[in-house]
Structure 1
Amino acid sequence: MPLQDAAAFAASLPLARAMREHAWLYPAVETMHIVGFAVLVGAVAMFDLRVLGFGRQLPVCALARHLLPWSAGSMLLVLPTGLLLFLADPAALLANRVFLLKLALIALAGMNALAFHTGPYRGVHAWSARAPGRAVLHALLSLGLWLAVLASGRLIAYF
Structure 2
Amino acid sequence: MLPAHPAAGPGPAGAALDWTHWLAATSPALAMRANAWLYPAVEIVHIAGFAVLVGAVAMFDLRVLGLGRALPVRLLAHYLLPWSVGSMLLVLPSGLLLFAAEAPDLAANRVFLLKLVLIAVAGLNALAFHAGPYRSAERWDSRAPPRARLHAVLSLLLWLTVIACGRLLAYV
Give yes or no for TM over 0.5: yes
The residue aligned with 1:101 is 114
Q: Distance in 2 between matches of 1:95 and 1:6?
A: 12
Aligned alpha-carbon RMSD (Å): 0.7
Amino acid at match of 2:77: A
Structure 1 spans left out of the alignment, 5+ residues = none
Q: Which runs of 4+ in 1 moved over 3 A?
A: none
Calculate percent identity across the aligned residue pairs: 67
Amino acid at match of 2:19: A
1:70-112, Cα deviation, whole Å (9 max, x unpaired) = 0000011000000000010100000111000100100000000
Selected match of 2:25 from 2, 8, 12: 12
Report matched runs for 1:26-41 at 5 Å.
Answer: 26-41=39-54
Aligned: 1:144 with 2:157: yes
Q: Distance in 2 between matches of 1:127 and 1:56?
A: 11
Question: How far has the Cα of 1:125 moved from its partner?
Answer: 1.1
SS, match of residue 127 in structure 2: helix
Q: How many residues align?
A: 159
Selected match of 2:95 from 59, 82, 90: 82
Selected match of 1:113 from 126, 139, 142: 126
Please tell me whether Structure 1 or Structure 2 has the larger radius of gyration of its CA atoms: 2
Tell me the TM-score normalised to structure 2 length: 0.91
Amino acid at match of 1:111: L
* Bigger relative contact order, structure 1 or 2 (CA pairs below 8 A, ≥6 apart): 1
Selected match of 1:64 from 30, 52, 77: 77
